[in-house]
Amino acid sequence: MAGRLGLGARGEDEASWISVSDLMAGLMMVFLCIAVAMMRSVMIEREKIRTIAMSYKENQLAIYESLQREFHDDLERWGAVIDRDTLTVAFINSDAMFDTGAAHLNLHYQVVFEEFFPRYMDVLAPYKASIEAVRIEGHTSSGWGVISSDADASYFNNLRLSQDRARSVLRFVYTLDAVAAHHLWMMQNVAAVGYSSSRPIYNADGSENIDQSKRVAFRVITNSEMKIHSILEESF
């Protein structure tokens, strides 16, 4: 009798152990499925970002090549350069565009921008859906008039000047009859920004290139970064 009771107890213990084992195995399968699902989700999001990055490169190249085709023959005459990486058309030595310390665009560069900007808008028109913003940037060299030991005063004087010059250019190109059809898009996407001397251009020896640092630039910013940010937000 006692033997049968002992055998029954062992059977119950074994049955309990098997149930716990089955439960643990089931939980492991659940966690494994969750892990696989999460890995698949990460891979999908990564593929989305990779696709956007590839599209960004292709779009960036297409905009750059369109700008080059349109303006290649004019750049030297205007004193301008196009940067492939930043999609920037920069007009070098802004002192030639304005009187010293002033922000009123002179007649010569009014003619230049009257020729440049309508064509610029026409070049960008096919890419508007992928453009987040166009910035008209004012840049100065690090100096301010006579050499001053007050770097802070020079920076803020140049900040005001660069902002005023960028706004002056934006105001002028906006009033051109040839871009009237683009006014709504410009109001929503084109801005004037002054950077003072915060983004100088350097010579090969590391010294500041004063003339090239003084510039007005038209920069295209695509919306790829915004799309990637949106994908990352949806992931969490």
Cα distance between residue 195 and residue 201, in whole Å = 13
Mean pLDDT of 81-90: 95
Six token digits for residue 55: 């599209």
pLDDT score of 36 more than 70:
yes
Q: What is the mean pLDDT of residues 178-205?
A: 95
Domains of the chain: 74-223 (3.30.1330.60)
- Taking the C-alpha atoms of residue 158 and residue 169, their distance in angstroms, rounded to an integer, is 16
Question: How is 50-79 classified by DSSP, letter by letter?
Answer: HHHHHHHHHHHHHHHHHHHHHHTTTHHHHT
CA distances from 212 to 90, 157, 183 (A): 9, 19, 30
CB proximity list for 193: less than 8 A, separation 6 or greater: 135, 136, 137, 138, 163, 166
Evaluate if residue 55 carries a pLDDT over 70: no
CA dihedral (193, 171, 90, 210) positive or negative: negative
8-state DSSP, 104: P
| pLDDT above 70 for 105 | yes
| 39 — pLDDT class (breaks 50, 70, 90) | confident
CB 119 within 8 A of CB 176: no
Q: How far apart are CA 196 and CA 158, in angstroms?
A: 5
For range 179-204, the mean pLDDT: 95
Structure tokens at 25: 């195995």
Identify the band that residue 91 occupies on the pLDDT scale cut at 50, 70 and 90. very high
Report how far residue 89's alpha carbon sits from residue 84's, in angstroms, rounded to the nearest whole number.
Answer: 9
Confidence of residue 95 (pLDDT cuts 50, 70, 90): confident
Q: What is the average pLDDT across 83-89?
A: 94
Max avg pLDDT among 20-24, 92-96, 214-218, 227-231? 214-218
Only one residue has tokens 């871009």, namely 179
| pTM (two decimals) | 0.74
pLDDT reported for residue 40? 73
* Rounded Cα distance, 62 and 27, in Å: 52
Question: By C-alpha distance, which of 161, 154, 172, 176 is closest to 215?
Answer: 161
Q: Please compute the mean of the pLDDT values over residues 210-230 and round it to a whole number.
A: 82
Which pair of tokens denotes residue 84?
Answer: 């492939």
